[in-house]
Structure 1
Amino acid sequence: MTVHPRLTAAPPKGTAAARRARPLAAARRANPLAMAAALAWLVVVGVPLYYLVAVSLRTREDYLTAGPLSAPTSPTLENYSTVLGGGFGRYLLNTTIVTAASVALVLVLALPAAYAIVRGSGPLLRAGFSLLLLGLAIPAQAVIVPVYLIITRLHLYDSLAGIVLPTAAFLLPMAVLVLTTTLRDIPEELYEAMAIDGGGAVRVLRALVLPLSRPGLVTVGIYVAVNAWNGFLFPLVLTQSEDRRVLTMGLWSLQGQYTSNVPALMAAMTLSVLPVFAFYLIGRRRLVGGLTAGFGK
């Protein structure tokens, strides 16, 4: 049996038949299993976030009388003022300093290292790159005692610099790996054109590599910022005074201070995660794209 071509052709755009066929085509493309998994993931992530924000807007009496997931009957910002008046600002400032310094240090070191790896050659350079990548396989917990001894010998114990240096050191291998894949995507013709114009290594790095590697730099910056912001091990081991506490250590101390005041504790946690959400919302596409750059080749 022969089917006429007009019977199988798609209806013209803008017609009623095309508008009726559009939902049917979307329904055929829908994946029920993927939709169910996405819905389950939304519940897993959304319920804790709802609990975090809703409880932070409730009074202690409302939290104790009503259910934990009930909406606040009379929202209040009293818990936020209580937390901000209890030393939370110092923790936030210390964390901001540690995060900004870690990001700056990693970017300054990772970009020249990646450029040397991509454009250089020789067994010593390859051995150095392999040794650097070995840092990806070594967890910080395994070498925390040597790190503690080094920091104390450098007289950096109980200082923000003592947190920044090991944090940047353990995040540097991933940063170099991401930037290496980014620089390998730069066409060879551009390097040759710069060489014909008499550009040296420093000029090529400044005029060519730096502008074209901005997506990778943004990716590395977000990756380092999130990890430095949430760091707990190095502040726990390498600091002891209250003036040097970061947010993670501050939340740990607030957990004991506000044991019976759960809404105040949730307000502190909400304030601590807001910058992380900002990092994610600003650069989520660049973060995923930068981490997967070059792996499809």
Structure 2
Amino acid sequence: MRFRSRPLTRGLVWLLALGWLAVTLLPIAFMLVTSLKSQQDMFSGSLWAWPERFDWSHYLSVLRGGYAGYLRNSLLVVSASVLLIVATSTMAAYALARLRFRFNHALIGLIVAAMVVPLHVTLVPVYLMTRNLGLYDTLFALIGPYVATSLPVSIVILTEFMRQIPRELEEAAEIDGSGPFTIFRQIFLPLSGPGIATVAIYNGIHLWTEFIFAYVLTSSPGMRTLPLALWDYQGEFSSNIPAMLAVATLTSLPLLAAYAVGQERIVKGMMAGVLKG
């Protein structure tokens, strides 16, 4: 009976996986197909109908418009934010995981508590702080909130990862006369590569589609990031839905590529602490 149940269990797992794949791909297929419809096909036919002909004019209009500027802004903001997140979270995680000081556990508790603070609660104070600093409607206005809101989960991930690094390596380095900074640079940074890659990819994907801070802290078209590019095709009384979905498709392509390349690293980084434990 046990051998007979294995093919049945495997078939059920495959069936559930294929069902989940269909649920995941359906919105992507709808977005892609609708972006290739004309405005007339969009409103005259069925919502799920196949377009009579592929209309690439929406993509040409998007690429000839301000999309390049939005893409540049997103690349600059996300790259700078991810670099700061990785640099800050690795040093903080090393201190929390290995260095002994007072209030170590209390500080970790505060960082974990910061993960459950609703993002919208911080909008008003962040907006007022940005105005007072003279950073409103600049790309620098986004980097600070992006780094601050991403640090708690990044520090928690890397702290748990660094705790699993054998302490014997650290003790051997101390016998050789290495200080904390040398140990961090020569031992913990190389061995924490999977965890650092996880933090970088996770935050990069999350910040690429961030909307609420970009909406509140910027106003001019020259400072908009990709999630705000949809405004160019939304009027007061009508919206160019195929063009908006063309923008969404172009915006999603880097995410899909990044996830396809880095999904294995994300899973390994998330599971590293559990497997070593």
- Structure 2 Cα separation of the partners of residues 262 and 237 of structure 1: 24
In structure 1, the residue matched to 2:150 is: 171
In structure 1, the residue matched to 2:10 is: 30
In structure 2, the residue matched to 1:116 is: 95
- Structure 2 Cα separation of the partners of residues 261 and 54 of structure 1: 15
AA in 2 matched with 1:30: R
Is 1:184 the counterpart of 2:157? The answer is no
Which structure 2 residues correspond to residues 56-95 of structure 1 after superposition, within 5 A?
A: 56-95=35-74
Report how far residue 71 of structure 1 moved. Answer: 3.5
Report how far residue 62 of structure 1 moved. Answer: 4.1
Query: Are the counterparts in 1 of residues 84 and 147 from structure 2 also a CA contact under 8 Å?
Result: yes
Query: Are the counterparts in 2 of residues 178 and 293 from structure 1 also a CA contact under 8 Å?
Result: no
- Structure 2 Cα separation of the partners of residues 171 and 258 of structure 1: 37
- Structure 2 Cα separation of the partners of residues 223 and 265 of structure 1: 25
Q: What is the TM-score with the length of structure 1 in the denominator?
A: 0.84
Q: Which runs of 5+ in 1 are unaligned?
A: 1-20
Query: Are the counterparts in 2 of residues 258 and 264 from structure 1 also a CA contact under 8 Å?
Result: no
Q: Which runs of 5+ in 2 are unaligned?
A: none
In structure 1, the residue matched to 2:79 is: 100
Identity %: 36
Which structure 2 residues correspond to residues 205-224 of structure 1 after superposition, within 5 A?
A: 205-224=184-203
AA in 2 matched with 1:27: P
In structure 2, the residue matched to 1:42 is: 21
Distance 1:211 1:62, change over 3 A: same
- Structure 1 Cα separation of the partners of residues 210 and 235 of structure 2: 20
- Structure 2 Cα separation of the partners of residues 196 and 279 of structure 1: 42
AA in 1 matched with 2:170: Y
Query: Are the counterparts in 1 of residues 233 and 240 from structure 2 also a CA contact under 8 Å?
Result: no
TM-superposition CA deviations, 1:159-191 (whole Å, max 9, x none): 111111011101001000111111112111111
Bigger Rg over Cα: 1
In structure 1, the residue matched to 2:215 is: 236
Distance 1:267 1:195, change over 3 A: same
In structure 1, the residue matched to 2:106 is: 127
Report how far residue 73 of structure 1 moved. Answer: 4.3
Distance 1:256 1:39, change over 3 A: farther
Is 1:255 the counterpart of 2:239? The answer is no
Query: Are the counterparts in 1 of residues 233 and 239 from structure 2 also a CA contact under 8 Å?
Result: no
* Count of aligned pairs: 274
Query: Are the counterparts in 2 of residues 181 and 293 from structure 1 also a CA contact under 8 Å?
Result: no
- Structure 2 Cα separation of the partners of residues 26 and 82 of structure 1: 54
Distance 1:40 1:29, change over 3 A: closer
Report how far residue 95 of structure 1 moved. Answer: 1.0
Question: 271, 275, 284: which is aligned to 2:263?
Answer: 284
> Which range is displaced more, 223-232 or 67-76?
67-76
- Give the CA RMSD over aligned residues: 2.3
1:292 is paired with a residue whose SS is helix
Report how far residue 215 of structure 1 moved. Answer: 0.4
1:30 is paired with a residue whose SS is helix
AA in 2 matched with 1:242: P
- Structure 1 Cα separation of the partners of residues 117 and 271 of structure 2: 22
> Which range is displaced more, 46-55 or 266-275?
46-55
Query: Are the counterparts in 2 of residues 182 and 293 from structure 1 also a CA contact under 8 Å?
Result: yes
TM-superposition CA deviations, 1:86-142 (whole Å, max 9, x none): 211111111111110110110110001000111111223333222222210111101
> Which range is displaced more, 91-100 or 60-69?
60-69
- Structure 2 Cα separation of the partners of residues 292 and 233 of structure 1: 30
TM-superposition CA deviations, 1:25-68 (whole Å, max 9, x none): 86244252x44433332232222111111222333344445433
In structure 1, the residue matched to 2:243 is: 264
TM-superposition CA deviations, 1:182-217 (whole Å, max 9, x none): 111211111112112221111111111111111001
2:185 is paired with a residue whose SS is helix
- Structure 2 Cα separation of the partners of residues 266 and 55 of structure 1: 7
